[in-house]
Amino acid sequence: MLKLAVFGSGSGSNYQAIAEAIAADRLHAQIVCVFSDVQDAFILERARKLGHPAIFLDCAPFKTKLDGQAEARAIELIRRHGGNFIVLAGFMRIIKQGLLDAFPKRIVNIHPSLLPAFPGLEAGQQALTAGVKETGCTVHLVDGGIDTGPILVQRKVTIQPDDTIQTLMTRIHAQEHIAYPEALQKIATQMA
C-alpha cells in the first residue's frame, strides 16, 4: 500500500486533488502526513481540515534546500507515521541525498511544464516568453537534479494567443490535478 508523505510550500491544491482521488477510490493510497517549510502555508490548513497530521518543518539555516537537521527530522517523522513514499506538491526546496537515499525511487514531483522544457522557477512565464504553442505539466521521479528524473505522466495544455500568466496557470493547474492522482495510481498498481 502506498503511504504518502506530502510536502508543500504553498496552496496545496495538488495535495487536495490527491486526497479527493483517494476518497473517490480512484487512487489506492493513504496520506499519512503533510509537511510544509512555511509555517502559515495554506497546505497545512487544508491538512488540518482533512484530518491529516500537519507538520511545520523548520528548514533553517538553509534557504533553498532540505538538508541537515530538518532532513533528518523529516525522515524520522515520515517513518514514525508509517510513510513509504514522498509526494512533492509545490515544495520549493531542493531535495538532498539524505532523503533520496532514505526513499530510493520513492519520491515524486510535479512541475508545470512539459519537461525537459522549462525546468526551474516560473515555468509558465518561461513558456509564454518563449512563444511556444503548447505547454503542460509533468509528474516525474525525483533524482539529484532540479526537475529532472524519469517522467511518469505528462498532460498538455494549448497556449491561447490571449493567455495571461493567470489564465495559463489556471489551465495547467487543472491538468495537474488529473495528472498527479493518475501517476500515483500507476505506481500503486506496479506495487500491488
Q: Are strands 134-141 and 151-158 parallel, antiparallel or unpaired?
A: antiparallel
Say whether 81 is catalytic: no
What the block records as the C-alpha cell of 8 is 508543500
How far apart are CB 192 and ligand GRF at their closest, in Å? 26
Name the segment binding ligand GRF (CB under 6 A); options: 10-18, 30-38, 97-105, 182-190.
10-18
Q: Out of 8, 136, 149, 181, which residue is the one contacting ligand GRF (CB under 6 A)?
A: 8
How far apart are CB 91 and ligand GRF at their closest, in Å? 7
Q: Is 89 in the site for ligand GRF (CB under 6 A)?
A: yes
Q: Is 175 in the site for ligand GRF (CB under 6 A)?
A: no
> Looking at the DSSP assignment, which residues form a beta bridge with residue 154?
138
Question: Of 93-132, which residues contact ligand GRF (CB under 6 A)?
Answer: 110-112
Q: Which residue is nearest to ligand GRF (CB)?
A: 90
Instruction: Name the catalytic one among 28, 52, 81, 111.
Output: 111
How far apart are CB 154 and ligand GRF at their closest, in Å? 12
Considering the complex, state which of residue 63 and residue 192 has its C-beta at the smaller distance from ligand GRF: 63
How many beta carbons lie within 10 A of that of residue 154, not counting itself? 17
139 phi and psi angles, rounded to 5 deg: -105, 125
Catalytic center residues: 111
